[in-house]
Amino acid sequence: MPKSWRFAPHDAGAVRDLSRQLKLPALVAQVLAARGHSSESAASTFLQAKLNDLHEPDLMPNLSAAADRIVAAVKSGRRITIYGDYDVDGVTSTSILWHCLRLAGATVDYYIPHRLDEGYGLNCDSMRQLHEEDPNRLIVTVDCGICSVTEAALAKELGLELIITDHHEMSAELPDAACLVHPRLPGSTYPFGYLCGAGVAFKLAWGICARLGDGKKASPQMREFLLGAVGLAAIGTVADCVPLVDENRVLVKFGLAGLRERSSLGLKALMQVSGLADKKEFDAEDIGFTIAPRINAAGRLGQARLAVELLTTDNAERALALAKYLDELNKNRQTVERKMLKQAKELIAENPAWEAAPVLVLAHAEWHAGVIGIVASRVAEHFQKPTVLISLSRQDNTGQGSGRTFARFDLHAGLSACAQHLTTFGGHQAAAGLKIQADRIDAFRDAICEFASQTHQVIPSDLEISIDAEVRLADLTHQAVTMLDLLGPFGRDNPRPIFAAARCELAEPPRKIGEGERHLSLKLKHYGTVLRAVSFGTAEWADQIVASGGPISVCFAPSINRFNGRESVELRLIDWQPSSIV
């Protein structure tokens, strides 16, 4: 289904005033105005976000009590076990709290469930194992546990002290743990409810450091640790796709700035093997497309503990070996992902009725359970509908699934409505996981499609591309595009600025580039200015653009391409249309 372009309205006089008052290029002022920062004070506040804009940790529900319990455990010499998750958010959350507790002199270890064997979150077998090893230990979850009612009850029965810190959607019944730390607990007055797991772990670490200092401020050593931990929180925040506004934007903005100076040996090694070592400044895309996939690959392929070890080791040789191994795992993951995406498209082609349904539910015995989430995202984007992919076990009659939303559909609510067909499920509005008996898949497909047809409707705005301004390519000077980065870091709810240019000509024929010629390269000419544009995974546009036979209108996100010491403005092509229909 083609997407429509929606141009943000703007007041030319207000843009001129803002440009003059803040000494900004008109292009930057126009984007600020288009995004609601039209007054001088509002724009200044947005541009000058400060680290002390972060909310005090003790404002978060039950964080004070959790920090007190943890500090008491440290002082009494009890073992503290961090129970994490296998994705990037869980790995960075675990690493933040581990570094904090080690610095405090605690006896600390971590437990990361095996993605394929144990699945997400707490499980009863692990509770029994941890109790058997050390019944006096304190368990602190990060990025998981808020729905673990049964597991928390078992921990209480065994006599294990359990603190749960999480950010995911809650069930009607909350687990009975010693403390529940969550920014959106019922009755919460915490000012920002959309931290990721690493953001919550960072706040807990901050609370612990304050208590180990003078009660309000951390010691100089602990303060230095917290400044470094912001970088780990930034990685988790970007990778978990939470809104990059308010506290999340602050964490990522300052985390990116500190990654080079304050990174651990493991992060530095990962930057080295991934080609980021020589980059002067990092942006959120460096995390999202380079750092996070390599950390995530370990968890997706069942080896998340290695990712935590990478982020916590103090052995440079071991760090480099782990970084290289994660890089290789990521290459393997990409190969598996491409094969699964091809198979998913083939399944839909073989079952035309599925493509017409409001939700796609696909299952395959060859699919890797650790990669289905990222492929579900690709399928949802390609077919423009919520998607659940299920990996079928060859050993028993079960399936492990992962879903991704489209057009605001509440995936968690959909799974809740179909709970009678599922063994377990969890997650949030945009992404969720589940387990299911294979013989219930058809009934589940029918049920979630029925739920979607009754509760959700794709409306035109769901298929719109929001464009900040129409421009001439000549407006995209090096200075203007560089200053657009002041509006970052970019991500969900604060996307990289998107512009449109009408009646562009081809300066040369389009080229298909990259492995398998899957990507597209264009040179666009617009009133005498020529700029290169690239688009990923859309090589089929090359023939379509040529066949259109005339000028085209394009929408794109501009950036600075830095290569071999040279810098140039480059466009990431998002969409195109024959100029006659724009």
- What tens digit of pLDDT does each residue of 373-421 get? 889 999 999 999 999 999 998 788 899 999 999 998 999 999 999 999 9
Tally the domains of the chain. Answer: 3
Angle between helices 88-103 and 197-212 (to 10 degrees): 10
Structure tokens at 217: 């401020």
pLDDT, tens digit (0-9, with 9 covering 90-100), for 101-140? 999 999 999 999 987 787 778 999 999 999 999 999 999 9
Question: What are the DSSP calls for 134-153, one per residue?
Answer: -TT-EEEESS--TT-HHHHH
Provide the 3-class DSSP secondary structure of residue 378. helix
For residue 39, tell me if it sits in a domain. Answer: no
Structure tokens at 325: 């191994």
**Contact of 526 with 474, CB cutoff 8 Å:** yes
For residue 15, tell me if it sits in a domain. Answer: no
Tell me: do 198 and 72 sit in the same domain: yes
pLDDT bin (cut points 50, 70, 90) of residue 1 is: low
pLDDT, tens digit (0-9, with 9 covering 90-100), for 469-497? 999 999 999 999 999 999 999 998 999 99
Please give the Cα distance from 116 to 365 (Å, whole number): 14
Provide the 3-class DSSP secondary structure of residue 165. strand
Closest residue by Cα to residue 232 from 218, 219, 251? 251
In the prediction, which pLDDT does 580 show? 66
For residue 67, tell me if it sits in a domain. Answer: yes
Tell me: do 147 and 198 sit in the same domain: yes
Angle at 240 between CA 237 and CA 244, to 5 degrees: 50
pLDDT exceeds cutoff 90 at 279: no
Tell me: do 195 and 235 sit in the same domain: yes
**Contact of 181 with 62, CB cutoff 8 Å:** yes
**Contact of 127 with 150, CB cutoff 8 Å:** no
Structure tokens at 402: 């992962």
Tell me: do 438 and 495 sit in the same domain: no
Please give the Cα distance from 197 to 169 (Å, whole number): 12
pLDDT, tens digit (0-9, with 9 covering 90-100), for 320-344? 999 999 999 999 988 999 999 999 9
For residue 140, tell me if it sits in a domain. Answer: yes
Residue positions counted in the chain: 582
Radius of gyration of the chain (CA): 25
CATH number of the domain at 430, please: 3.10.310.30
The residues, ordered by sequence, that sit 6+ positions from 76 with a Cβ below 8 Å of its Cβ are none
pLDDT, average across residues 228-247: 95
Q: For the CA atoms of 544, 546, 548, 553, what is the dihedral angle to 10 degrees?
A: 90
For residue 452, tell me if it sits in a domain. Answer: yes
Residue written as token pair 């909310």: 55
Beta-ladder partners of 107: 79
309, 325, 341 — which closes off a domain?
Answer: 325
pLDDT, average across residues 430-439: 92
Please give the Cα distance from 407 to 3 (Å, whole number): 12
pLDDT, tens digit (0-9, with 9 covering 90-100), for 528-582? 999 999 999 899 999 999 999 889 999 999 999 887 778 899 999 999 999 865 4
Tell me: do 269 and 197 sit in the same domain: yes
Structure letter (DSSP) for residue 277: T
For residue 298, tell me if it sits in a domain. Answer: yes
Structure tokens at 341: 């995406």
pLDDT bin (cut points 50, 70, 90) of residue 302 is: confident
**Contact of 37 with 46, CB cutoff 8 Å:** yes
**Contact of 85 with 120, CB cutoff 8 Å:** yes
Please give the Cα distance from 208 to 105 (Å, whole number): 12
Distance of CA 101 to the CA centre of its chain: 26
In the prediction, which pLDDT does 454 show? 95
Angle at 311 between CA 305 and CA 313, to 5 degrees: 90
pTM of the model as a whole: 0.88
CATH number of the domain at 567, please: 2.40.50.460
- Mean residue pLDDT of the chain comes to 93
pLDDT bin (cut points 50, 70, 90) of residue 98 is: very high
Tell me: do 256 and 131 sit in the same domain: yes
Please give the Cα distance from 389 to 376 (Å, whole number): 6
pLDDT bin (cut points 50, 70, 90) of residue 241 is: confident
Closest residue by Cα to residue 242 from 303, 176, 287, 295? 287
307, 325, 343 — which closes off a domain?
Answer: 325
Range of the domain at 525: 464-581
Tell me: do 372 and 412 sit in the same domain: yes
pLDDT exceeds cutoff 80 at 2: no
Structure tokens at 168: 């995911």
For residue 303, tell me if it sits in a domain. Answer: yes
Tell me: do 102 and 211 sit in the same domain: yes
Percent of the chain with pLDDT over 90: 80
In the prediction, which pLDDT does 217 show? 80
CATH number of the domain at 207, please: 3.90.1640.30
Tell me: do 440 and 516 sit in the same domain: no
Distance of CA 498 to the CA centre of its chain: 20
The residues, ordered by sequence, that sit 6+ positions from 15 with a Cβ below 8 Å of its Cβ are 26, 29, 30, 33
Per the model's pLDDT, the better-predicted residue between 199 and 373 turns out to be: 199
For residue 428, tell me if it sits in a domain. Answer: yes
Tell me: do 257 and 391 sit in the same domain: no
Tell me: do 487 and 411 sit in the same domain: no
Bond prior to 489 in cis (omega within 30° of 0): yes
**Contact of 18 with 457, CB cutoff 8 Å:** no
424, 440, 458 — which closes off a domain?
Answer: 458
Distance of CA 433 to the CA centre of its chain: 16
Tell me: do 240 and 116 sit in the same domain: yes
> Mapped to the 3 state alphabet, what secondary structure does 199-231 carry?
HHHHHHHHHHHHHHCCCCCCCHHHHHHHHHHHH
In the prediction, which pLDDT does 395 show? 81
- Neighbouring CB atoms inside 10 A of 530's CB total 13
